[in-house]
Amino acid sequence: MRNPTFITDEDRWQAVLARDPRADERFVFAVQTTGIFCRPSCRARHALRKNVRFYPDAHHAVQAGFRPCKRCMPDKRDPQEQKLAKVEHACRLLEQDPTLTLEGLAQQVAMSPFHFHRLFKSVTGMTPKAWQQAARGQRLRTALAQGDKITDAVLAAGFPDSSSYYRKANDALGMTAKQYRKGDVAVRYAISDCSLGRCLVAESERGICAILLGDSDAELTEELAAQFPKAAHAPLEEDFAQRVQQVIVSIDNRDVPLALPLDIRGTAFQQRVWQALRNIPCGETASYRQVAQAIGQPSAVRAVAGACAANTLAIVIPCHRVVRNDGALSGYRWGTARKALLLKREAKRQEG
């Protein structure tokens, strides 16, 4: 197939009708009735051919008296980068102002509320409101960890009143504010050897809440403290020792499923991602995009990657089975070397 040249106006018009992105760096087209010029790939409604004029670039179109389209931004070098910058700016605004409305946010990034809401969700995998709620929950966790009084922390985080907070406590923290401020002292942990190095296993009253991999006990303890600041080290004795051993056996031999209750803590979006990961068969992999499609949010690739990075139940929630679109290994919370070893081990077991 020949490479289009877009030399004639007829070729250019056909490119506009096809919204051909290959033509974007070759010319722009202007509509006399609106006074606006666009990229050939612009998604705006097509004008009548008789009202369309072609120019070699944005500079010539501006000189002819036309204004750049706000949708496709033909005067910008990389419109996609501009859109991502707007979303990033909006994220910071939402994190700083818990009362900011969609209309106010869209106004600050110079977009209509409808188009901005759609763009924000396609990039982050979350609505602006969900992002705002997540930021509010993070502010609450920070304030409680610093020792603030519960009521003061609730109000400082942006909840309108304490009763509003208590109705949403489980979604924000996965536990009560009092439990979180105390560091959920019911959590206990032990560290043992496994085939992947050192392994920390922690449990709460509800079940296994953390399985962490590392090279040193100090590293693992520090990682656990970020989630459970006052988790207590426990000796490997009696029933607890048996449960820890069950976890180790399950890690070392994936043919042995872990039959212990799990205490999985995360946002609603993270929970959906983690469930999708558990549906990936042993010996197989999926891309971040495929996982996003599996949860019904095909554009939420970055958010899926973030949920994988937030997983604290190594192997049991198999985030190691998620790879890049080209099949290459990407980052892994416990090191790409471990990820490669796990995938190789599971592939061999599947072949056998």
Q: For residue range 213-260, what is the model confidence (pLDDT) as tens digits? A: 999 999 999 989 888 887 889 888 888 999 999 999 988 886 777 778
Q: Is the distance from CB of 191 to CB of 199 less than 8 angstroms?
A: yes
pTM: 0.53
Instruction: State the residue for tokens 């290459």.
Output: 328
pLDDT tens by residue, 26-62 = 899 999 999 999 999 888 899 999 999 999 999 999 9
**Predicted pLDDT of residue 257:** 74
Lowest-pLDDT choice from 91-105, 218-232, 267-281: 91-105
Give the active site residue among 38, 42, 69, 91. 38
> 202 with 231: CB under 8 angstroms?
yes
Mean pLDDT of 97-119: 85
Tell me the pLDDT band of 7, cut-offs 50, 70 and 90.
Answer: confident
Q: Look up 38 and say whether it is catalytic.
A: yes
- pLDDT band, very low/low/confident/very high, at 296 (cuts 50, 70, 90): confident
Q: Which residues neighbour 49 within 8 Å (Cβ) at sequence distance 6 or greater?
A: 13
Distance between CA atoms of 266 and 35, rounded to whole angstroms? Answer: 50
Task: Mark whether 319 is an active-site residue.
Answer: yes
**Which of the residues 69, 91, 199, 319 is marked catalytic?**
319
